[in-house]
Amino acid sequence: MLWQSIEDLPSDEVEEGKRGNLSDIQTLTVSPFQFSYADDADQLKKRFQQWLEEVVLTGLEYWNKSL
């Protein structure tokens, strides 16, 4: 499994009152990173770096606003 929600964990694995508020979930990008096996590796790396930088910056801005 690549991703698991904290809500999916057995209650004994999550401290009481530490489940968080799932209504605070924010989408960090409008489109997933898509690629094909036929893509040029160098161009793919450049596109991924740009996409990742934008997503990370969006996430950091969202996190900063929540502090």
Q: Is residue 9 part of a domain?
A: no
Per the domain annotation, does 24 fall within a domain?
no
Residue 27 — very low, low, confident or very high, per pLDDT cuts 50/70/90? Answer: confident
pLDDT for position 60: 94
Torsions phi, psi of 45, nearest 5?
-60, -45
Split at pLDDT 50, 70, 90, the class of 37 is very high
Domains in the chain, number: 1
Selected residue with higher pLDDT from 45 and 22? 45
Residue 63 lies in a domain: yes
Average pLDDT over every residue of 34-58: 95
Does residue 57 lie within any of the structural domains? Answer: yes
Ramachandran assignment for 17, one of left (phi > 0), alpha (psi -120 to 50 degrees), beta (any other):
left
In a domain, 10, yes or no: no
Q: What is the pLDDT of residue 9?
A: 54
In a domain, 47, yes or no: yes
Question: Is residue 50 a part of any domain in this protein?
Answer: yes
**Residue numbers of the domain that contains 61:** 41-67
Asked if the structure places residue 64 within a domain, the reply is yes
Q: How confident is the model at residue 34 (pLDDT cuts 50, 70, 90)?
A: very high
